[in-house]
Chain A
Amino acid sequence: MEIPYAVQPRPDTGLYNAKAGIWLFLASEVMLFGALFSAYVLLRVGAVPGEWPHGWLNVTLGTINTLVLALSAITTLLAWVACKTRQFDKFKFFHACTLLLALTFLCIKGYEYHDKWIHYEIQLTDGRIADGHMLENNPKEDYVVIEGRYVADEKDLYDLRAQKDIKTGEIKIPRPQIKEMENYGPWHNTYLALYFTLTGLHALHILGGSIVIGYLWGPGRRMWKTDPERFTNRVEVSGLFWHFVDLVWIFLFPVLYLM
C-alpha cells in the first residue's frame, strides 16, 4: 500500500502531506526564533540605561539585504507559479534568480561580519579609548594602526545615532600604551552576541534553504519529467520555507538595525 496523499490533498484537511509537514516545521521555527527574540527583549530591557548600542550597523546595507530577500521571496513564488502553469523554463529562470539573490545576501552579510571583525576597541593605559577599524596589526611591529577616533569614556561608543559627524582618522598606537584590545565580536557585549547569534542562525537557514532550492533547480529537476505534480509540491514546500526565512529577516532588520 502506497502512502496516500503524498501528492493529492486529503479531502477533509485540504492538505497534501508535505504541506502539513512544512507548516508544522515552520511552527517550531517560530518558537525557535521567538525564543531568541524573547532573549533579545529581556537582555535589552534589563540592560543598564544608556549602555545599549544604537546605530552600530550599516542601515544602507541592511536595507539592501531586506530588498534582496524580499525580491528573492517573490522570485520563489513565481518559480512555483511557473511550475503550476507547466512553464519549466520560467521556473529555471526564477529559481536561478532566487539563488543569485541568496548569494548576494550572504555576501553582504559576510562583508558586514568582516567589518565588525576588524573593528577594535582599544583601552589605553592613560584611560582613553581608541575605537576604529584595524589597518595594521603586524605582531613584529610594536604599534597598531587603526582608522578611528579617541573617546574619553566607553559610554560615548554606544549611541552612534545621537552623535553627528563622527570624524575618524588614522591613529597609530604604540603597543606599550595598550591596556586591552578587543574586536567587535560576539564576546564584546550582549548586543553583538545577539546580533551574531540571530543573524548567524538566520544565515544558516538561508544556506540550508539555498541548498534545497539549488538541489531542486539542479539535480532534482529530473522529477519534473516523471512526476511534475509532485515536483511542483516540492517547489511550493521549499518556497514556504524560504518565505519564512524572509519573514524572520523582516523582524531582524528593524530590531537589530533600526532600534
Chain B
Amino acid sequence: MSESHSVDFKSYLRRCIYVFVAVVCTTSLMICASYLPHYSWAVKVVLILAVACVNAFIVAGFLMHLLSEKKMIYLLLGFTACFFAGLMGLTIYAMHDMPSGTSFH
C-alpha cells in the first residue's frame, strides 16, 4: 500500500522537477531576450510576453491542474479572459482613437 503511495509521489516529484527546469529555461530566455541588441523595444516586449505566456501556461496547466480540470472552470476562465481582453483592448484603443489634432491625457 505504502509502496504504491510512494510510487505516485515519485512520479509527481519527477514531473515537478521537469516543470521547475522548464521555468528556469523560460526565465533565462526572457532575460536573454531583454538584452538582445539591435531590436526595438516593441519587438522585445512581444517576445518577452510570449515567453511569459508559455511560462504561465506551464504553471497553470501542470501545477494548478488546469489541464485536467472540469468544463465549468474553463467556462469561467474563458469569460474572465474575454472581459480582461475587453478591458485592456478597448481602453488602449480609446487612447489611440482620438479626433485629429488632439491627443490622450
Judged by CB atoms under 8 Å, the answer to whether A and B touch is: yes
* Nearest neighbor of A86 in chain B, beta-carbon distance: B5
Residue pair A35, B87 in contact (C-beta under 8 Å): yes
What are the residues of chain B within 8 A of A90 when measuring CB–CB? Answer: 9
Residues on B facing A (Cβ under 8 Å): 5-6, 8-9, 12-13, 16, 19-20, 23-24, 27, 30-31, 33-35, 41, 44-45, 48-49, 51-52, 55-56, 59-60, 63-64, 70, 72-73, 76-77, 79-81, 83-84, 87-88, 91-92, 95, 104-105
| 19 more A-B residue pairs beyond the given contacts A70-B20, A70-B59, A73-B63, with a C-beta to C-beta distance below 8 A | A15-B72, A27-B76, A30-B80, A30-B84, A38-B91, A46-B104, A71-B20, A77-B16, A77-B63, A78-B12, A78-B13, A85-B5, A87-B9, A243-B64, A247-B56, A254-B30, A254-B34, A254-B49, A259-B34
Residue pair B84, A34 in contact (C-beta under 8 Å): yes
Shortest distance from the beta carbon of B10 to any chain A beta carbon, whole Å: 10
Total number of residue pairs linking A and B with CB closer than 8 Å: 121
Residue pair A45, B72 in contact (C-beta under 8 Å): no
- CB-CB under 8 A for A37 and B88, given A24-B76, A247-B56, A258-B34: yes
Residue pair A42, B91 in contact (C-beta under 8 Å): yes
Q: Which of A59-67, A97-105, A172-180, A202-210 makes up part of the contact surface?
A: A59-67
Residue pair A250, B87 in contact (C-beta under 8 Å): no
* A59–B92 CA distance with the chains assembled, in angstroms: 28
* Nearest neighbor of A259 in chain B, beta-carbon distance: B45
